A and B are shown apart, each in its own frame.
Chain A
Amino acid sequence: MSGRLPRPLVVPAVLGLVFLVLPLAGLLIRAPWSTLPARLAEPQVLQALRLSLVTATVATAICLLLGVPLAWLLARTAFPGRRLLRALVTVPLVLPPVVGGVALLLVLGRRGLVGSWLDQTFGVTLPFTTAGVVIAEAFVAMPFLVISVEGALRGADRRFEEAAATLGASRWTVFRRVTLPLITPGVLAGAVLCWARALGEFGATITFAGNFPGTTQTMPLAVYLALETEPEAAVVLSLVLLAVSVIILASLRERWVGGA
Chain B
Amino acid sequence: MNPPVILSARLVVDRPAFRLDIDLQAGAGEVVALLGPNGAGKTTALRALAGLIALSDGQITLDGRLLHTLPPENRPIGVVFQDYLLFPHLSALDNVAFGPRCQGASKAEARRAAAELLARVGLAERASAKPRQLSGGQAQRVALARALAVRPRLLLLDEPLAALDAHTRLETRSRLRRHLADFDGATILVTHDPLEAMVLADRLVVIENGAVVQQGSPAEIARRPRTDYVARLVGLNLYRGAAEGTRVKVGELLMHTAEPIDGPAFVAFSPAAVALYRSRPDGSPRNLWQGAIEGVERHGDNVRVHLRGPLPVVADVTPAAVAELDLSPGRQVWASVKAAETHAYPA
Contact = CB atoms under 8 A, between A and B. Distances in A.
A and B touch in the complex (CB under 8 A): yes
Interface of A: 157, 159-160, 162-170, 173, 177-178, 181-182, 184
A164 to B, nearest CB: 7
Among B71, B79, B98, B150, max chain A CB count under 10 A is at B98
A166 B72 contact: yes
A168 B89 CA distance: 18
A207 B168 CA distance: 67
Interface of B: 50-52, 71-75, 77-79, 81, 85, 87-90, 98-99, 102-103, 146-147, 149-150, 156
Given A160-B85, A166-B147, A167-B146, 9 more contacts: A162-B50, A162-B72, A163-B85, A164-B98, A165-B71, A166-B72, A166-B75, A167-B147, A182-B88
B87 A170 contact: no
Contact of B73 (A160, A169, A177): A169
Given A168-B150, A173-B102, A163 B79 contact: yes
Contacts of B147: 166-167
Nearest to A169: B102
Contact of A163 (B51, B74, B81, B149): B81
A168 B156 CA distance: 14
Nearest to B89: A181
Contacts of B89: 181-182, 184
A184 B89 CA distance: 10
A160 B98 contact: no
11 contacts: A160-B85, A162-B85, A163-B87, A164-B102, A167-B78, A167-B150, A168-B99, A168-B102, A170-B73, A173-B102, A182-B88
Q: Lowest 5 A-B CB distances belong to which pairs?
A: A168-B102, A167-B99, A163-B85, A165-B72, A181-B89
Contacts of B73: 165-170
Contacts of B74: 168
Contacts of A157: 85
A166 B52 contact: yes
B98 A166 contact: no
Contacts of B75: 166
Nearest to A174: B73
A136 to B, nearest CB: 35
Nearest to B82: A159
B283 to A, nearest CB: 62
Among A162, A163, A173, max chain B CB count under 10 A is at A163
A168 B52 contact: no
Contacts of B149: 167
A37 to B, nearest CB: 46
A178 B52 contact: no
Given A178-B87, A182-B89, A162 B102 contact: no
B230 to A, nearest CB: 30
Contacts of A177: 87, 98
A166 B87 contact: no
A89 B71 CA distance: 32
B62 to A, nearest CB: 14
Given A162-B52, A162-B72, A163-B79, A168 B85 contact: no
Nearest to B71: A165
A167 B104 CA distance: 12
A105 B51 CA distance: 49
Contacts of A163: 79, 81, 85, 87
A184 B88 CA distance: 12
A114 B226 CA distance: 74
B340 to A, nearest CB: 51
Among A159, A167, A169, A178, max chain B CB count under 10 A is at A167
B85 to A, nearest CB: 4
A166 B87 CA distance: 13
Contacts of A184: 89
Contacts of A169: 73, 98, 102
Nearest to A178: B87
A101 to B, nearest CB: 40
B7 to A, nearest CB: 16
Contacts of B146: 167
Nearest to B50: A166
A169 B72 CA distance: 9
Nearest to B79: A166
A162 B50 CA distance: 9
Contacts of B77: 166
A214 B226 CA distance: 85
Contact of A159 (B71, B81, B103, B150): B81
Contacts of A173: 102
B50 A170 contact: no
Among A165, A177, A178, max chain B CB count under 10 A is at A165
B222 to A, nearest CB: 32
A83 B299 CA distance: 58
A146 to B, nearest CB: 23
Nearest to B149: A167
B73 to A, nearest CB: 5
A181 B78 CA distance: 23
A12 to B, nearest CB: 35
A159 B99 contact: no
A173 B72 CA distance: 13
Among A157, A168, A173, A182, max chain B CB count under 10 A is at A168
Nearest to A162: B52
A17 to B, nearest CB: 34
B105 to A, nearest CB: 10
B26 to A, nearest CB: 17
Contacts of B98: 164, 167, 169, 177
